[in-house]
């Protein structure tokens, strides 16, 4: 019996090499596509014998077979975006460029030249063919600083060099260029250039390299473009998911850790942890810590990008006599207010995923100092027009101190109650800090 038409799923195409260890190449790309509900098509350009320690050997596929794969996919499937990875040779670049030249979907070019483990992944002439044939077709070019240097001749050492490289690469014809900051600087700041303005995407720097991170990042951007997101939003969401992949990276061999771009987020455990924390909070929090506007408590999914991915209370915790009570059940998307605080803090450190607001009291600030909690503040009277108070204030306080503190406070302004916000990695972490203060 017919069950009706199957649901339609967006499709994206990766054109890259095979990694026999499954950590990078088309294997990483297809996993990244699937993690955001995009079907992955894959055209192989070469086969490698590699693992987490080294690339042993590689064998480029015949040009005719690469062309036949491209024809097979593009003649049948409604591809919404494509990305290229390891193309290896000038001849392969020419074949790929020829197949994509009349296509109207976004093309992301990841100019893979060297593997994470340090082994070269290209032959003589690849750089020139990328610059002359494929990059001019790109909607986005995604080099790391080493690839940017090889393509431009600019030795990228600081942010000024990054912007110079972006400008040169944009001049080669790519509509947008993002130079990845994973290999330099105090934080992993990526810089996106659209030909007129530079946009920085700050990120937390994790220790060590991660096998497949570059492949997954460009694949996630392509997948987001396939879902009809704009370029800025596609990059922002990919950046968050790569941070998640670093947090939950795993070891499969004796060498480099593998990026976990396909990590499955458990929404129930986030909800349950917040629910339990709220019940615990009611049992010990003195009522004088509740602000006039009430309290909310939030906990974000890993790599959350908007309020719908932050679990918070429907309603507020309020003062009921000498106790705390009067709230609805936790739910995702329940509070824009606390979500903005968490999401802004997570831009600087993705491990910070929970926050609660407290009544502003001098005694509380003194207690924070007494138990060595890091504090920062912002001045609400200096808030620019047309911005979210919580986003702006959180970013301002963190930028001024250089790191995410345990507590952020403001002394209020006309019509705005002063407030303290306590931050942590999870609700239990927030409660632990709160118990120390009390």
Q: Give the residue among 194, 184, 120 at the shortest CA–CA distance from 150.
A: 120
> How do the domains of the chain map onto residue ranges?
11-247, 267-437
Cβ proximity of 243 and 305 under 8 Å: no
**Cα(81)–Cα(32) distance, rounded to whole angstroms?**
14
What lies within 8 Å, CB to CB, of 44 at 6+ separation is 16, 17, 18, 26, 61, 66, 69
- Judge whether residue 59 has pLDDT over 90: yes
What is the predicted pLDDT for the residue at 182?
61
Instruction: Please report which confidence band the pLDDT of residue 305 belongs to, taking 50, 70 and 90 as the band edges.
Output: confident
CB-count exposure of residue 284 (10 Å: 0-12, 13-18, 19+): exposed
For the domain made up of 11-247, give the CATH fold. Answer: 3.40.1190
- Judge whether residue 2 has pLDDT over 50: no
Per-residue pLDDT tens over the stretch 398-416: 999 989 999 999 998 888 8
Cβ proximity of 393 and 425 under 8 Å: no
**Cα(138)–Cα(222) distance, rounded to whole angstroms?**
11
Whole-number average pLDDT of the chain: 91
What is the predicted pLDDT for the residue at 6?
59
What b/e string do you get for 145-173 counting C-beta neighbours within 10 Å, with b at 16 or more? bebbbbbbebebeebebbebbbeebbebe
- Judge whether residue 1 has pLDDT over 80: no
Rg (CA), the chain: 24
- Judge whether residue 57 has pLDDT over 80: yes
DSSP annotation of 135: G
**Cα(328)–Cα(107) distance, rounded to whole angstroms?**
46
Cβ proximity of 95 and 126 under 8 Å: no
**Cα(209)–Cα(36) distance, rounded to whole angstroms?**
23
Which has more confidence, 55 or 235?
235
> Model pTM greater than 0.85?
no
What is the predicted pLDDT for the residue at 203?
75
CATH class of 267-437: alpha beta
Element (H, E) at 49: strand 39-50
Instruction: Please report which confidence band the pLDDT of residue 10 belongs to, taking 50, 70 and 90 as the band edges.
Output: very high
What lies within 8 Å, CB to CB, of 141 at 6+ separation is 108, 109, 111, 135, 169, 174, 176, 177, 178
């Amino acid at each position: 019996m017919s069950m009706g038409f199957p649901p339609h799923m967006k499709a994206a195409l990766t054109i890259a090499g095979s990694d026999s260890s499954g950590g990078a190449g088309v294997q990483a790309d297809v996993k990244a596509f699937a993690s955001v509900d995009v079907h992955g098509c894959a055209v192989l350009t070469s086969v490698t014998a590699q693992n987490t320690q080294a690339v042993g050997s590689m064998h480029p596929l015949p040009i005719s077979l690469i062309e036949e794969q491209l024809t097979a996919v593009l003649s049948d499937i409604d591809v919404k975006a494509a990305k290229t990875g390891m193309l290896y040779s000038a001849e392969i670049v020419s074949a790929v460029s020829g197949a994509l030249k009349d296509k109207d979907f976004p093309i992301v070019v990841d100019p893979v030249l060297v593997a994470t483990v340090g082994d070269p992944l290209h032959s003589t002439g690849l750089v020139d063919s990328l610059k002359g044939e494929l990059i001019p077709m790109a909607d986005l070019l995604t080099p790391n600083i080493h690839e940017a240097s090889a393509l431009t001749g600019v030795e990228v050492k600081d942010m000024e060099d990054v912007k110079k490289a972006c400008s040169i690469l944009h001049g080669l014809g790519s509509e947008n260029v993002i130079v990845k900051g994973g290999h330099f600087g105090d934080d992993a700041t990526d810089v996106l250039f659209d030909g007129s303005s530079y946009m920085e995407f700050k990120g937390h720097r994790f220790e060590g390299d991660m096998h497949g991170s570059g492949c997954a990042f460009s694949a996630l951007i392509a997948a987001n473009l396939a879902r009809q997101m704009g370029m800025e939003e596609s990059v922002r969401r990919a950046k968050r998911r790569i941070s998640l992949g670093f947090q939950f990276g795993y070891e499969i061999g004796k060498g480099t850790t593998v990026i976990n771009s396909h990590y499955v987020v458990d929404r129930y455990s986030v909800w349950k942890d917040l629910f339990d924390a709220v019940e615990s909070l009611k049992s010990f929090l003195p009522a004088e810590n509740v602000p006039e506007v009430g309290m909310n408590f939030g906990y974000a999914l890993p790599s959350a990008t908007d309020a719908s991915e932050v679990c918070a209370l429907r309603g507020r915790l309020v003062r009921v006599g000498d106790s705390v009570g009067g709230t609805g059940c936790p739910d995702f998307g329940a509070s824009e207010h606390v979500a903005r605080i968490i999401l802004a803090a997570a831009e600087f450190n993705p491990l910070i995923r929970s926050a609660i607001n407290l009544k502003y009291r001098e005694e509380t600030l003194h207690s924070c100092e007494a138990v060595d909690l890091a504090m920062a503040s912002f001045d609400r009277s200096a808030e620019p027009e047309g911005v979210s108070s919580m986003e702006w204030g959180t970013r301002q306080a963190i930028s001024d101190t250089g790191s995410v503190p345990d507590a952020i406070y403001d002394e209020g302004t006309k019509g705005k109650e002063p407030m303290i916000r306590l931050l942590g990695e999870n609700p239990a972490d927030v409660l632990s800090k709160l118990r120390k203060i009390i």
